[in-house]
Structure 1
């Protein structure tokens, strides 16, 4: 189906931007305590496609609050515990966020791009996901099934350091134009495990219905599409560890994003 091919083609650059680098040492001229965590276990980036000032502020603030955190072996990282409440008193700005499939203004809008980037880095590093939820709708900056949403007091993103060594989180907004959110997970020695990659299996695309609304201000028979709605997606994400026939394939998630109906005005005037 053409729309399926177009959807996957549009998302492909985002997927290709992901890169796990389990054996790459970081530059040696790092300040303490970063010198203790010189080896990159995984890295993931997402492009910032909405540069609204409030959203940029929230993304940078969320990245700064998780940057430098160290997880000991067995320790669980909670995004909500680390980042804290999203309100003006804690420094958050108003920006668009998703509520029931629609974009509405909210304090902390945009921070889910940081959560989603961190989620993918954790998967690529071989860490254990404890709690994760997807959004109500597909996003522009990441493929369906690869996102992670948070809501203060309701939905958290948590993962466990299941490695036998401490892991340090580094998060930033890159100076590129357009900028990107980058999360890198570092260790005190190179990874001894198999290389890890993520695979996406698109199960189903569901086209949106078009709801017709009579409009006496339009000539009879004329149709004006007011809102095209968006497609629903069902997708499975797998974590593949190793190469060739010996590779192990683990189901990470099976997510369903419902379609949103569109709206078309139909003229009734004589």
Structure 2
């Protein structure tokens, strides 16, 4: 699978499991000049705990997708990557798994990113302010983000950019306050838990959902809510033809 084959949020989430030929062989003598053994021709650049020298970024010219996995880019590493920021001009997809940063200032390196995935945000003082660097951002996927209690974790200007929002394992999301500011939102997917844990979360308020006039896709699971209230709010959304609740599809009539 190539980055050009990413057509949906689901494609983006599953891309790394289908990408091939991204790594040099373990026995390759060239790996000393690589970052995390990423092949030099690869569209995907992996920055992993085994990374020793980010200066090797000079050896890559085809990067379109970056995964930073369980690795903190310190000040020196950020300085090195910033000096070679041109290497990231074609990067539209960024996956930060088990994020180690305190904020998203590193997004300054990726001005053309349209798809962003961040997982395991555990720091209570974590800041999203670096999102302002991404003027082309359309899709955000957040997983294991227990800090989120409503939809005010982003600024109004940040919300207005987003067309596709996917939140998974949001154990403290109990209100929809602030969701009305996602004026251009077309896709909203909300999973309070996972198939493995199956924990459910009570939603206290759905207010604001009825304001998403551009919404075309809605899916929700592992939440408890008033079904009649939800249906009444969704019925006001003329562009939403059907939606999914707990894997059941409903016509929006």
TM-score by length of 2: 0.26
**Could you say which structure has the larger radius of gyration?**
1
* Structure with greater proportional strand content: 1
* Structure with greater proportional helix content: 2
Bigger relative contact order (CA 8 A; separation at least 6): 1
